[in-house]
Copies of this chain bind each other. A is one copy, B any other.
Amino acid sequence: MKPDPHHSTAACGRVGDLLAKIGSKWTVIVVRALRDRPMRFSELKRAIQDISQKMLTSTLRDLERDGFVTRTVTPTIPPRVDYCLTDLGKDLLVPLDALGDWAVANQHRVDAARARATEAA
């Protein structure tokens, strides 16, 4: 039998922390947006569309702080800033994609359950 480290309170706490972070609604979107190429701030802003500039900025700062993206400033005029996934960021993409795939694949099941719950009420 495995040691099964998932059961420990400590492990659960860490999972909670990380999920709280990536669950901040925009983190995942941004990381996934950067999946195959670096992007400039305004590119991201345009790509994500309904993110406010404030949220994009703070999301990127958090991601940078946690080592998921790099921020490269080119001090031209006008200034240019590129964001790129680090190795850690690319690593994170793996379990993130698994979860993302699951979400896409099972969304209908959740929808069905919610529909049932709603009409039952």
The chain A residues found within 8 Å of chain B, CB to CB, are 5-7, 9, 11-12, 14-20, 22-26, 28-29, 32-33, 35, 49, 64-68, 88, 91-92, 94-104, 106-107, 109-110, 112-114, 116-117
- Distance in angstroms from A79 CB to nearest chain B CB is 20
A interface, by DSSP: helix, strand, loop or mixed? helix
B-side contacts of A7, CB under 8 Å:
35
A66 touches B110 (CB 8 A): yes
Bound Cα distance from A69 to B18, whole angstroms: 23
Q: How many copies does the complex hold?
A: 2
Given the known A-B contacts A65-B114, A106-B91, are A16 and B35 also in contact in the complex, defined by CB atoms under 8 Å?
no
Complex contacts, A65 vs chain B, CB 8 Å:
113-114, 117
Given contacts A23-B24, A95-B95, whether A114 and B15 have CB atoms under 8 Å apart is no
A23-B23, A23-B25, A106-B88 are contacts. A99–B15 as well, Cβ < 8 Å?
yes
8 Å CB contact of A23 from B22, B32, B100:
B22
Distance in Å from the Cβ of A57 to the closest Cβ of chain B?
Answer: 16
- State in angstroms the CA–CA spacing of A32 and B103 once bound together: 17
When the two chains form their complex, are residues B94 and A15 in contact, meaning their CB atoms are under 8 A apart? no
